[in-house]
């Protein structure tokens, strides 16, 4: 049910202007120009990449449920319309744009640390690590050594940090319980998704979404408060994405900031001009200090924003027909900026 | 040094279990060895101990990622640091690093597929191995022909002047033993064949006229008798539906299959071992490498696809030597489904034609995989045989495989329909003779389940209702 609400919410934000597959790519965090730009144009940052492993089969199943319940009607060409009777309040908070699946790495580190400290506390120094990824194991080993886990105070410090920070996270108690039930320790096994789903009487997918949402909320508290939560902050190292540009867009941005023209960059990087433009749009979306005035005047920007409002559309093709003197690139830049531009 | 004193020093045991010493002595004499030792008889000691005596790298070829990981974890747990699993848990960088420094390890675990990679081969050619171990060697026969053809290549990979090979298995018929010897290019191997019989496992069966009645009986039985136990069924979806029904009836159960989250699988194992979980509902992929000694019941909700699987699966009961029960359930037409599942993944005649078509047009046959014309497993198998034989021969081979798989289901059906001793049927299947029958041998010899099983006790699942604060506090602070 939660999952269906999220899909419906994405469709709703996309204003019926994209195909039935658009939410799928968004949820998986597809790094294509189209998906990334949609994030900016339709303000979908929160849902970007929250389910990197979502299968097409599962997605189609959920779409079919939405269709069966008449919340959505799909036409043969992939277009769709929404019924207005599926209003979901209390939407779960996500911050997909800044985590993109990295929250699982945070939790993997945390769970191995908790398992280690739990055994340490019980005086059992040999155990089978619950996390098999050698990088996670190496990271945790370094963490434990540099925090002098032998001293015996680390577990109490970590416990205090978890108790205080998780208390602050705005999430249902049940969800916090789910989160902590995914941890295990000496003679305390964790619970599987199937078990949690049956005990809480929710779909497995919904339980996982609750868990991801709670992790995002919690991580936002942790990453903003290094002073209060130094250990958790360390465990969340490199988890939050600070420059959310794709690698390639980042390279283009560097060259552009060094003063190269788009044409030069295109030649130098041997990429199509349209690709370079995609990168600039991505940059405009992510960097509020990046001025788009070098490509489009304030007056023209106003024209685009007015057209969006008057015709109630964000379809590029339609906007281009209304404003034939502007290029697609210029229109996309304005859309990428969205409301933030008009506010300044 | 005396083998016994190494056993005592390294492993803390005062004496060998039957078969171990014979096998180890032959290995130390440089001979190839095939050892059939039942589950729980300490197979891994047969290569671990020589690893310390010979002081050169031991290479262990192992079929399953989870099994490999488990063995490495176990050895590390007992203090061996120079052990590594070369598998897909490693990223490219780490894999290169491990391969470059491969000679520093005493024990290397590897899958046949990884072994076939050129980079690995080149490195291994430059390392002096003391021993090559093929663990679960019946996989050569069970999987090599129709599932994982790289199993058939192991022998040729090591050439003629190689280190001795130890092939280990818990279940092998004479035909399988022949396959092992042939495909591993073994030279007059020493064979240690232990009886496959497990006298403390008591065998029963039940027949029903339809699936509903069978499930009804299963739920009743599990509600009334104590575990811990494993219920085997055919598909992932059935593991879900059965475990859910059990849970709704207040029985502590969980599904377990290969498609699960890795963390979830470990939670289940830990719960099962700690005793908070009574029943695991599993597909056949489960269990190689679970270390629970006191499993009391194995129930087959669906009939297994062959006798070898059945033997393996019931072998997970009663490792502590105490009485355990294996119950085989059957409802009419079950064998049809078992046959279908068995042959479902085999390549079809038309696949052979398509493969040929691509080759004739000078195209890469992997196209058919990309076009979704064939499953990955089927393609791997098809590709292997097309390298070896003509298209018509390949068609015949697949046709024969299909027939053989169906016959294997029929063999299992004999256990269901015949009224001769079940234990005898099993043991004879492996080409052995049964010398002694235990008390309460099987349902055909006379068996009273009530005497072997104890009644289910009510369990308190209080730990689930803990607050999150209590749980994390419990995890991180000493329990008073």
Which pLDDT value is given to residue A85? 65
Q: What is the pLDDT of residues B52-69, one digit of tens each?
A: 998 899 999 988 777 788
Of residues B132 and B459, more confidently modeled: B132
Residue A165 near residue A230, CB atoms below 8 Å: no
Mean pLDDT of all residues belonging to chain B: 87
Burial B238-258 (b: 16+ CB within 10 A, else e): bbbebbbbbbeeebbbbbbbe
pLDDT band at residue A113 using 50, 70 and 90 as cut-offs: very high
Kindly report the nearest CA distance between residue B57 and chain A, in angstroms.
22
Diameter over CA atoms, chain B: 75
- Residue-range domains of chain B with CATH: 3-193 (3.40.50.300), 204-480 (3.40.50.300)
pLDDT band at residue B328 using 50, 70 and 90 as cut-offs: very high
Kindly report the nearest CA distance between residue B104 and chain A, in angstroms.
18
**Whole-angstrom distance, CA of residue A258 vs CA of residue A263:** 14
Interface contact B255-A194, CB threshold 8 A: yes
- Chain A neighbors of B469, CB-CB under 8 A: 163
Q: What is the pLDDT of residues A14-41, one digit of tens each?
A: 877 788 888 999 999 887 777 877 887 7
- Residue-range domains of chain A with CATH: 2-90 (1.10.10), 99-235 (no CATH), 247-343 (1.10.10.1390)
Burial A195-232 (b: 16+ CB within 10 A, else e): bbbbbbebbbbbbbbbbbbbbbbbbbbbbebeeebebb
For strands B57-61 and B324-331, give the pairing.
unpaired
Kindly report the nearest CA distance between residue B239 and chain A, in angstroms.
11
pLDDT band at residue B210 using 50, 70 and 90 as cut-offs: very high
CA nearest neighbour of B134 among B80, B79, B181: B181
What's the number of CA atoms in the CB half-sphere (13 Å) around residue A86? 23
Q: What is the pLDDT of residues B270-310, one digit of tens each?
A: 889 888 899 999 987 665 556 788 999 999 999 998 898 89
Listing from the earlier edge strand, what are the strands of the sheet with B297-300?
Answer: B201-208, B324-331, B297-300, B229-232, B279-282, B253-256
Helix axes B391-417, B334-343, angle to 10 degrees: 150
B71 interfacial to chain A (CB closer than 8 Å): no
Q: What is the DSSP string of A290-331?
A: ---TTTS-HHHHHHHHHHHHHHT---HHHHHHH-TTS-HHHH
Q: Is A125 helix (H, G, I), strand (E, B) or coil?
A: coil
CA nearest neighbour of B381 among B94, B146, B106, B95: B146
Q: In which residue are the tokens 């377990």 written?
A: B256
> Taking 80 as the threshold, does the pLDDT of residue A344 lie above it?
no
Of the candidates A132, A158, A189, the beta carbon closest to that of B476 is on: A158
- Chain A neighbors of B276, CB-CB under 8 A: 189
Q: What is the DSSP string of B411-460?
A: HHHHHHH--S-HHHHHHHHTT-----PPTT-BTTT---HHHHS-BPPP--
Of A83-87, B194-198, B229-233, B421-425, the one with minimum mean pLDDT is A83-87
pLDDT band at residue A341 using 50, 70 and 90 as cut-offs: very low
Kindly report the nearest CA distance between residue B279 and chain A, in angstroms.
13
Q: In which residue are the tokens 């060998």 written?
A: B16
Which pLDDT value is given to residue B444? 92
Minimum CA–CA partner of B263 in chain A: A130
Interface contact A129-B244, CB threshold 8 A: no
Interface contact A180-B471, CB threshold 8 A: yes
Of the candidates A176, A177, A184, the beta carbon closest to that of B270 is on: A184
- Chain B neighbors of A57, CB-CB under 8 A: none
What's the number of CA atoms in the CB half-sphere (13 Å) around residue B34? 23
Share of chain B above pLDDT 90, in %: 40
Minimum CA–CA partner of A133 in chain B: B89
B77 interfacial to chain A (CB closer than 8 Å): yes
Burial B347-363 (b: 16+ CB within 10 A, else e): beeebbebbeebeeeee
> Taking 70 as the threshold, does the pLDDT of residue A87 lie above it?
no
Q: What is the DSSP string of A146-193?
A: HTTGGGS-HHHHHHHHHHHHHHHS-S-HHHHHHHHHT--BTTB----H
ipTM of the complex: 0.80
Which pLDDT value is given to residue A311? 83
Stretch B84-97: mean pLDDT, rounded? Answer: 84
Which pLDDT value is given to residue B220? 93
**Whole-angstrom distance, CA of residue A27 vs CA of residue A9:** 12
Q: What is the DSSP string of B246-307?
A: HHHTT--EEEE-TTS-HHHHHHHHHHHHHTS--EEEE-TT--TT---S---EEEESS--SSH
Enclosing H/E stretch for B100: helix B92-100
Kindly report the nearest CA distance between residue B229 and chain A, in angstroms.
18
B239 token code pair:
């593991």
- Chain A neighbors of B243, CB-CB under 8 A: 194
- Chain A neighbors of B89, CB-CB under 8 A: 132-134
For strands B324-331 and B201-208, give the pairing.
parallel
Q: What is the pLDDT of residues A286-339, one digit of tens each?
A: 776 788 888 888 888 888 888 888 888 878 888 888 888 999 889 888 888 765
B243 interfacial to chain A (CB closer than 8 Å): yes
For strands B107-110 and B83-86, give the pairing.
parallel
Kindly report the nearest CA distance between residue A320 and chain B, in angstroms.
38
């Amino acid at each position: 049910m939660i999952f269906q609400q999220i899909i419906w919410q994405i469709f709703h934000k996309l204003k019926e202007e994209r195909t039935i597959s658009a939410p799928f790519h968004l949820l998986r965090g597809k790094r294509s120009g189209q998906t990334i730009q949609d994030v900016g144009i339709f303000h979908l940052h929160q849902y970007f990449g929250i389910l990197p492993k979502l299968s097409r089969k599962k997605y189609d199943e959920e779409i079919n449920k939405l269709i069966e319940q008449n919340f959505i009607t799909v036409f043969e060409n992939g277009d769709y319309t929404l019924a207005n009777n599926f209003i979901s309040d209390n939407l779960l908070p996500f911050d997909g744009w800044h985590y993109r699946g990295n929250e699982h790495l945070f939790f993997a580190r945390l769970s191995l640390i908790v398992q280690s400290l739990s055994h340490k506390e019980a005086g059992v120094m040999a155990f089978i690590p619950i996390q098999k990824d050698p990088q996670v194991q190496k990271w945790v080993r370094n963490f434990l050594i540099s925090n002098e886990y032998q001293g015996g105070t680390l577990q109490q410090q970590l416990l205090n940090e978890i108790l205080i920070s998780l208390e602050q996270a705005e999430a249902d108690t049940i969800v916090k319980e789910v989160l902590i039930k995914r941890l295990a320790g000496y003679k305390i096994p964790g619970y599987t998704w199937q078990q949690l789903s049956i005990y809480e009487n929710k779909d497995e997918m919904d339980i996982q979404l609750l868990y991801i949402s709670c992790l995002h909320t919690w991580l936002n508290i942790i990453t903003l408060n290094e002073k209060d939560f130094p250990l958790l902050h360390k465990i969340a190292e490199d988890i939050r994405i600070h420059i959310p540009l794709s690698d390639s867009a980042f390279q283009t941005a560097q060259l552009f900031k060094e003063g190269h023209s788009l044409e030069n960059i295109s030649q130098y990087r041997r990429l199509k001009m349209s690709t370079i433009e995609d990168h600039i749009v991505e940059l405009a979306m992510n960097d509020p200090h990046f001025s788009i005035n070098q490509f489009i005047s304030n007056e023209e920007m106003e024209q685009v924003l007015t057209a969006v409002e008057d015709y109630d559309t964000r379809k590029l093709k339609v906007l281009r027909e209304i404003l034939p003197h502007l290029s697609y690139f210029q229109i996309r830049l304005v859309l990428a900026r969205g409301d933030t531009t008009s506010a300044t | 040094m005396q083998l016994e004193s190494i056993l005592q020093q390294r492993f803390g045991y005062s004496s060998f279990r039957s078969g171990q010493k014979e096998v180890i002595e032959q290995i130390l004499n440089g001979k190839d060895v095939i050892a059939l030792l039942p589950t729980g008889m300490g197979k891994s000691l047969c290569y671990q101990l020589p690893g310390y005596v010979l002081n050169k790298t031991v290479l262990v070829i192992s079929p399953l990622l989870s099994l490999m990981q488990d063995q490495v974890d176990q050895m590390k747990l007992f203090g061996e640091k120079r052990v590594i699993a070369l598998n897909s848990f490693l990223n490219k960088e780490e894999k290169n690093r491990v391969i470059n420094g491969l000679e520093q390890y005493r024990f290397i675990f590897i899958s046949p597929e990884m072994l076939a990679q050129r980079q690995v081969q080149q490195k291994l050619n430059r390392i002096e191995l003391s021993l090559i171990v093929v663990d679960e060697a019946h996989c050569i026969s069970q999987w090599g022909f129709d599932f994982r053809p790289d199993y058939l290549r192991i022998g040729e990979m090591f050439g003629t002047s190689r280190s001795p090979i130890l092939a280990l298995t818990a279940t092998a018929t004479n035909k399988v033993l022949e396959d092992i010897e042939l495909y591993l290019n073994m030279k007059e191997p020493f064979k240690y064949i232990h009886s496959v019989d497990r006298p403390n496992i008591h065998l029963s069966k039940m027949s029903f006229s339809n699936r509903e009645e069978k499930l009804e009986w299963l739920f009743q039985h599990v509600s009334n008798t104590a575990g811990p136990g494993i219920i085997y069924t055919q598909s992932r979806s059935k593991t879900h539906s059965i475990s859910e029904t059990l849970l709704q009836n207040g029985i502590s159960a969980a599904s377990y299959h290969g498609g699960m989250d890795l963390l979830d699988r470990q939670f289940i194992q830990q719960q099962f071992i700690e005793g908070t979980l009574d029943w695991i509902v599993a597909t056949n992929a489960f269990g190689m490498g679970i270390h629970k000694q006191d499993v009391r019941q194995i129930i087959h909700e669906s009939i297994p696809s062959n006798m070898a699987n059945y033997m393996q699966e019931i072998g997970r009961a009663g490792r502590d030597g105490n009485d355990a029960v294996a119950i085989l359930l059957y409802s009419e037409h079950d064998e049809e489904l078992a046959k279908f599942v068995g042959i479902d993944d085999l390549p079809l005649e038309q696949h052979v034609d398509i493969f040929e078509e691509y080759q004739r047009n000078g195209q890469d046959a992997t196209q058919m995989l990309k076009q979704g014309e064939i499953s990955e497993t089927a393609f791997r198998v098809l590709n292997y045989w097309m390298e070896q034989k003509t298209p018509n021969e390949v068609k015949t081979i697949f046709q024969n495989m299909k027939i053989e798989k169906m016959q294997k289901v029929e063999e299992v059906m004999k256990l269901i329909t015949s009224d001769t001793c079940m234990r005898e049927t099993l043991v004879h299947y492996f080409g052995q003779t049964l010398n002694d029958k235990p008390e309460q041998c099987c349902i055909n010899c006379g068996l009273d389940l009530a005497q072997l099983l104890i009644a289910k006790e009510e369990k308190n699942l209080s730990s689930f209702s803990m607050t999150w604060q209590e749980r994390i506090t419990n995890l991180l602070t000493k329990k008073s």
